[in-house]
Copies of this chain bind each other. A is one copy, B any other.
């Protein structure tokens, strides 16, 4: 049997037909048009799913269940989007409506959690009994998967590592996210007086500057990897995962980030614990489709 994994993004509604081992057999993507009425977006979610089924060369009768990844606040029991900021949805009973329309059971997961499960089933943490996926994007997302089960909606990005430090969007001071998100790194880059030629700063700016021999840029990177290591060691000491996978924009630096990070983490973690593998996520957006489908399978 097959499963549909759906990612309800602010830009695109992506779907994939996934087999029970986490292979994608066919995909489809439809623009979200987030400004449109809920009813129209919902129709295009159905369209996206149907196209993926068509592209996979199967029929809706072959689909055992549908899993949807959504940002925002979710009621897992009822498959309801309580609140989705990007789409302006409130109390939208999407799982029931999908079920009614396609006659296939539907479940709802947090999109970041679904992506974490995808990386464990078919990506960077494949086969791990316990894995933590850390996404370095606008925020620091933390997805925890134990025994192929998602530990839902962890907000470990809002773990204070520097008490009394930088103000965070959550109201606390010194959260991991305030230092280690792309937003945090951009702030550190700007504070160090490093910019692109046109005065802008992005998540790559400081790495490019360090490449050109800028010692201040290298110092910003060193501090960034130390803060990243601090939060990761906290999670390792507390939860002892087999694998830590890094995703999101900053993780594109690959070994350049991972090599100093591993050195710091392994030196600092609690003695006697087994050092986890520390790697990059490998599936990109497909992690969300595969993970949502596998959540539906469960």
- Chain A interface residues (CB < 8 Å from chain B): 73, 142, 151, 153-156, 158-163, 165, 170-172, 226-227, 230, 233-235, 237-240, 268, 270-273
Contacts and interface: CB of A to CB of B under 8 A. Distances in A.
Q: Top 8 nearest A-B pairs by Cβ distance?
A: A156-B238, A159-B234, A155-B237, A158-B237, A162-B163, A155-B270, A154-B238, A160-B230
Nearest to A154: B238
A158 B268 CA distance: 10
21 contacts: A151-B239, A153-B240, A154-B237, A154-B239, A155-B238, A156-B237, A156-B238, A158-B234, A159-B234, A159-B237, A159-B238, A160-B230, A161-B161, A162-B162, A162-B163, A163-B165, A163-B230, A170-B271, A171-B268, A171-B271, A234-B234
Q: Which of A142, A237, A239, A240 has the most CB of B within 10 A?
A: A237
A171 B240 CA distance: 18
Nearest to A240: B153
A225 to B, nearest CB: 13
Nearest to A165: B163
A227 B239 CA distance: 21
A272 B73 contact: yes
Nearest to A172: B268
Contacts of A73: 272
Contacts of A165: 163
Q: How many copies does the complex hold?
A: 2
A273 B170 CA distance: 12
Contacts of A163: 161-162, 165, 226-227, 230
A145 B7 CA distance: 32
Contacts of A172: 233, 268
Contacts of A234: 156, 158-160, 234
Nearest to A153: B240
A143 B156 CA distance: 18
Contacts of A154: 237-240
Given A162-B163, A163-B227, A230-B163, A142 B238 contact: yes
Contacts of A227: 163
Contacts of A238: 142, 154-156, 159, 235
A253 B120 CA distance: 44
Given A171-B268, A172-B233, A161 B160 contact: yes
A270 B230 CA distance: 20
A240 B151 CA distance: 10
Nearest to A234: B159
Contacts of A171: 268, 271
Given A154-B240, A162-B162, 6 more contacts: A154-B239, A155-B238, A156-B234, A159-B238, A160-B161, A160-B233
A170 B226 CA distance: 17
A186 to B, nearest CB: 20
